[in-house]
C-alpha cells in the first residue's frame, strides 16, 4: 500500500508514475480521491472547531455554576455539539474506509532506476551466463521438448488431467525423483550457502494475509478458494499462489528489533494459481500449471539495505542455475511489466532448446514498504523510532520449470538425460536418467 501522504503532497507526481505501469487501466479515480480528501479536511476542521467550542462552553458552565446561575441553555448546546461530533466521527470513519479501498487497489510505485516501458518489450537485459561462456549448447540433432522427453521417465499429463483437469500433471518414477531432488538441492543451496532459514508453512491462508502481500483484492480471480466442510459460517480461505505469502506474513503486525534484521526465509511448497487471465497460453506441458512447486526466498530488511538485498537475492537464484549448468539471462523488468507490489524486479530466464528461447524461472522483487504498510510490520531503529521494514521475495527456483530445463538442456540423441554433476548426490549418484 502506498503512503497516503504521498498522494496528498504530490498527487500529480504519483499519478504520473503510476501511469508508466501497464496500461490502459484506471489505477486511481482522481476525482473521487479529491472529493473524499476535501470532505475529510472539512470534517476534521469542523471537528476541531466543535471541540474548541465545547471546551469553551464547559468552562462557561463551571463559571455559571460558581455564580449560581442557570446552565440549562449552555448544557443543551454542549449536548448538541456532542451529537454533531458523533455524526462527524461516523462519517469520517466511512471516508477513511473509502480512501483505504482506493489505496488497496493501487500498485507500488516503480523505482526511478526502473526502465520505463509499456510491456515486456521494454525490459532490459542485464547479463547472460552459460557453462562455457559461449551461449546455449548446440545440438547435432533436433532437440525434443520436455513433454516427449519426460513421458518415458514418468511425466504423465494424461493422468493429471483425468484426476484434476487441464494444467495438472502426475509424476512417477524417475520424473518424480528428479522433481524431489531439485527441490531438496535448491533448499540446501539457499540454507547452507546463503543463510536462509528453512520454513514449512500453511498452504491455506486467511483473506487478510493475502491483502498483506497484495494478492487481494486485485487478483482474487486468480486464486483458488476453499471453505471448511460442514461449517456454513466458515470464512472463505485461499490456497497460496506462492509461499512468499506465508513467509512474508510471518512478521505481520510485529515491531522487530533492529538486530533481528535482515531476516532470510525459504520454503518449498506447492503453489496454486487459477491463471484466470492466461487462457490458451502455454497449454502444453509444465510451463503454466494450476499446481506447481517452488522454492521461495524472502528477505525482511531495513530500508537502507533493501537495494543491496535485491542484488544479493538475484545472485542466490543465479547460483542454483549455475550449479545446474543451465544457460540463463537476467533482465530488469520495465515499469509496464512489473508485478503489482514490486518497486523493482529482475527476472531470470532459463534457456529452453525446444522453444529456442529463454523462459522465466525466477522473479526477484524489492517491494520496499508496500507490503509492510499493509501488514503493519515495523522495526525499532537505533534512535528508538518505529519505521516500516522493506520486504523482498524471489524464486529460488520454480521446481517444475527447472525440471523442464534439466530435461531439455541435458538430453542426448538416445533419449537419455545427462544429470548435472551438482544434482547427482540427490539421485544416488546417477549420471544419466534412462527410461
Report the CATH number that the domain containing residue 43 is assigned in CATH. Answer: 1.10.287.40
The predicted model gives 322-327 an average pLDDT of 98
Q: How far apart are CA 300 and CA 294, in angstroms?
A: 19
HSE of 353, CA atoms in CB hemisphere, 13 A: 24
Q: Considering the domain boundaries, does residue 239 fall inside one? A: yes
User: Does position 277 have pLDDT exceeding 80, yes or no?
Assistant: no
Residue 115 contacts residue 122 (beta carbons within 8 Å): yes
Same domain, 136 and 18: no
Same domain, 381 and 408: yes
The predicted model gives 115-129 an average pLDDT of 96
User: Does position 352 have pLDDT exceeding 60, yes or no?
Assistant: yes
What lies within 8 Å, CB to CB, of 429 at 6+ separation is: none
Q: Considering the domain boundaries, does residue 259 fall inside one? A: yes
Same domain, 91 and 140: no
For 216, the grid coordinates are 487481494
Same domain, 59 and 182: no
- For residue 54, how far is the Cα from the chain centroid? 48
DSSP letter assigned to residue 121: G
For 18, the grid coordinates are 503510476
Model confidence at 26, in pLDDT bands (50, 70, 90)? Answer: confident
Same domain, 62 and 136: no
The string of pLDDT tens digits covering residues 175-189 is 999 999 999 999 999
The predicted model gives 16-21 an average pLDDT of 94
User: Does position 344 have pLDDT exceeding 70, yes or no?
Assistant: yes
Same domain, 308 and 284: yes
Query: What is the number of H-type helices and E-type strands within the chain?
Result: 12, 18
pLDDT score, position 275: 75
Task: Give the lowest-confidence range in 44-53, 186-195, 343-352, 399-408.
Answer: 44-53
Same domain, 188 and 250: yes
User: Does position 117 have pLDDT exceeding 90, yes or no?
Assistant: yes
Choose one of 57, 75, 104: the last residue of a domain: 104
Coil, strand or helix at 418: strand
Residue 408 contacts residue 308 (beta carbons within 8 Å): no
pLDDT score, position 22: 77
Strand ranges, E, within 177-290: 197-199, 204-205, 225-226, 237-239, 255-257, 263-272
Q: Comparing C-alpha atoms, which of 276, 308, 271, 297 is closest to residue 400?
A: 271
Q: How many domains does the chain have?
A: 2
Q: How far is CA 159 from CA 135, 220, 374, in A?
A: 36, 28, 41
| Torsions phi, psi for 103 (to 5 deg) | -65, -40
Q: Considering the domain boundaries, does residue 112 fall inside one? A: no
pLDDT score, position 230: 65
Q: Comparing C-alpha atoms, which of 153, 82, 108, 101 is closest to residue 419?
A: 153
CATH of the domain at 322: 3.30.930.10
**Chain mean pLDDT for the chain:** 95
Q: Considering the domain boundaries, does residue 355 fall inside one? A: yes
Residue 433 contacts residue 173 (beta carbons within 8 Å): no
Same domain, 190 and 298: yes
User: Does position 109 have pLDDT exceeding 90, yes or no?
Assistant: yes
Same domain, 351 and 245: yes
User: Does position 84 have pLDDT exceeding 90, yes or no?
Assistant: yes
Residue 296 contacts residue 267 (beta carbons within 8 Å): yes
HSE of 248, CA atoms in CB hemisphere, 13 A: 36
pLDDT over 90 percentage in the chain: 89
pLDDT score, position 69: 85
Could you tell me the maximum CA-CA distance found in the chain, to the nearest angstrom? 109
What lies within 8 Å, CB to CB, of 165 at 6+ separation is: 290
Q: How do beta strands 386-388 and 378-380 pair?
A: antiparallel
The string of pLDDT tens digits covering residues 160-178 is 999 999 999 999 999 999 9
Helix pair angle (306-323, 173-188), 10° resolution: 140
DSSP code string of 168-204: --EE-HHHHHHHHHHHHHHHHIIIIIT-PEEE---SE
Q: Considering the domain boundaries, does residue 391 fall inside one? A: yes
Q: How far apart are CA 263 and CA 295, in angstroms?
A: 17
pLDDT score, position 278: 59
Q: How far apart are CA 52 and CA 60, in angstroms?
A: 13
Instruction: Verify cis geometry, omega within 30 degrees of 0, for the bond prior to 217.
Output: yes
DSSP code string of 209-240: HHHHHT-TTTTGGGSPEE--TT-TTPPPEEE-
Q: How far apart are CA 265 and CA 298, in angstroms?
A: 5
The string of pLDDT tens digits covering residues 222-275 is 999 998 776 665 668 999 999 999 999 999 999 999 999 999 999 999 999 997
Choose one of 76, 104, 132: the last residue of a domain: 104
Beta bridge partners of 411: 417
Q: Considering the domain boundaries, does residue 114 fall inside one? A: no
Residue 420 contacts residue 323 (beta carbons within 8 Å): yes
Residue 339 contacts residue 205 (beta carbons within 8 Å): no
Residue 107 contacts residue 327 (beta carbons within 8 Å): no
- Entry pTM: 0.93
User: Does position 48 have pLDDT exceeding 70, yes or no?
Assistant: yes
Q: Considering the domain boundaries, does residue 143 fall inside one? A: yes
User: Does position 210 have pLDDT exceeding 60, yes or no?
Assistant: yes
For 228, the grid coordinates are 471448511
Determine if residue 221 is left, alpha or beta; phi over 0 gives left, psi from -120 to 50 gives alpha, anything else beta: alpha
Residue 392 belongs to domain spanning: 120-433
The predicted model gives 127-153 an average pLDDT of 97
Choose one of 53, 79, 104: the last residue of a domain: 104
Q: How far is CA 126 from CA 261, 346, 347, in A?
A: 29, 9, 10
Same domain, 190 and 95: no
Same domain, 271 and 210: yes
Coil, strand or helix at 261: coil
Q: How far apart are CA 286 and CA 145, in angstroms?
A: 11
Q: Considering the domain boundaries, does residue 113 fall inside one? A: no
- Which residues are catalytic, by number? 273, 288, 360, 363, 401
Same domain, 37 and 173: no
Q: How far apart are CA 26 and CA 106, in angstroms?
A: 9
Amino acid at each position: 500500500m502506498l503512503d497516503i501522504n504521498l498522494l496528498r503532497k504530490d498527487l500529480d507526481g504519483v499519478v504520473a508514475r503510476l501511469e508508466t505501469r501497464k496500461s490502459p487501466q484506471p489505477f486511481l479515480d482522481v476525482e473521487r480521491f479529491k472529493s473524499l480528501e476535501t470532505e475529510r479536511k472539512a470534517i476534521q476542521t469542523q471537528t476541531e472547531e466543535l471541540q474548541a467550542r465545547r471546551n469553551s462552553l464547559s468552562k462557561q458552565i463551571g463559571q455559571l455554576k460558581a455564580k449560581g446561575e442557570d446552565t440549562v441553555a449552555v448544557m443543551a448546546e454542549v449536548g448538541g455539539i456532542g451529537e454533531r461530533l458523533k455524526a462527524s466521527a461516523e462519517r469520517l470513519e466511512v471516508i477513511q474506509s473509502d480512501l483505504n479501498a482506493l489505496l488497496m487497489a493501487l500498485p507500488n510505485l516503480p523505482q526511478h532506476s526502473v526502465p520505463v516501458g509499456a510491456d515486456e518489450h521494454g525490459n532490459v537485459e542485464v547479463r547472460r551466463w552459460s557453462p562455457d561462456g559461449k551461449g546455449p549448447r548446440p545440438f547435432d540433432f533436433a532437440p525434443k521438448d520436455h513433454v516427449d522427453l519426460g513421458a518415458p521417465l514418468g511425466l504423465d499429463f494424461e493422468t493429471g488431467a483425468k484426476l484434476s483437469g487441464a494444467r495438472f500433471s502426475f509424476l512417477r518414477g524417475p520424473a518424480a525423483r528428479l522433481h524431489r531432488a531439485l527441490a531438496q538441492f535448491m533448499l540446501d543451496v539457499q540454507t547452507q550457502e546463503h543463510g536462509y532459514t528453512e520454513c514449512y508453512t500453511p498452504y491455506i491462508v486467511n483473506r487478510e494475509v493475502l491483502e498483506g502481500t497484495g494478492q487481494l483484492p486485485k487478483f482474487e480471480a486468480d486464486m483458488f478458494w476453499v471453505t471448511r466442510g460442514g461449517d456454513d459460517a466458515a470464512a472463505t480461505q485461499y490456497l497460496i499462489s506462492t509461499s512468499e505469502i506465508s513467509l512474508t506474513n510471518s512478521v505481520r503486525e510485529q515491531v522487530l528489533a533492529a538486530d533481528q534484521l535482515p531476516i532470510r526465509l525459504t520454503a518449498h511448497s506447492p503453489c496454486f494459481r487459477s491463471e484466470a487471465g492466461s487462457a490458451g497460453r502455454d497449454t502444453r506441458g509444465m510451463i503454466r500449471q494450476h499446481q506447481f512447486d517452488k522454492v521461495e526466498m524472502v528477505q525482511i530488511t531495513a530500508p537502507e539495505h533493501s537495494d543491496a538485498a535485491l542484488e544479493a537475492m538475484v545472485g542466490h537464484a543465479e547460483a542454483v542455475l549455475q550449479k545446474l549448468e543451465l544457460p540463463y539471462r537476467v533482465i530488469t523488468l520495465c515499469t509496464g511489466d512489473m508485478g503489482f507490489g514490486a518497486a523493482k524486479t529482475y527476472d531470470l530466464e532459463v534457456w529452453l532448446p525446444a522453444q529456442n528461447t529463454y523462459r522465466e524461472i525466477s522473479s526477484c522483487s524489492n517491494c520496499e514498504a508496500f507490503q509492510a504498510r499493509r501488514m503493519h510490520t515495523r522495526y525499532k531503529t537505533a534512535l528508538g523510532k518505529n519505521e516500516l521494514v522493506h520486504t523482498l521475495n524471489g524464486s529460488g527456483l520454480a521446481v517444475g520449470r527447472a525440471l523442464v530445463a534439466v530435461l531439455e538442456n541435458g538430453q542426448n540423441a538416445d533419449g537419455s538425460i545427462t544429470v548435472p554433476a551438482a544434482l547427482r548426490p540427490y539421485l544416488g549418484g546417477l549420471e544419466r536418467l534412462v527410461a
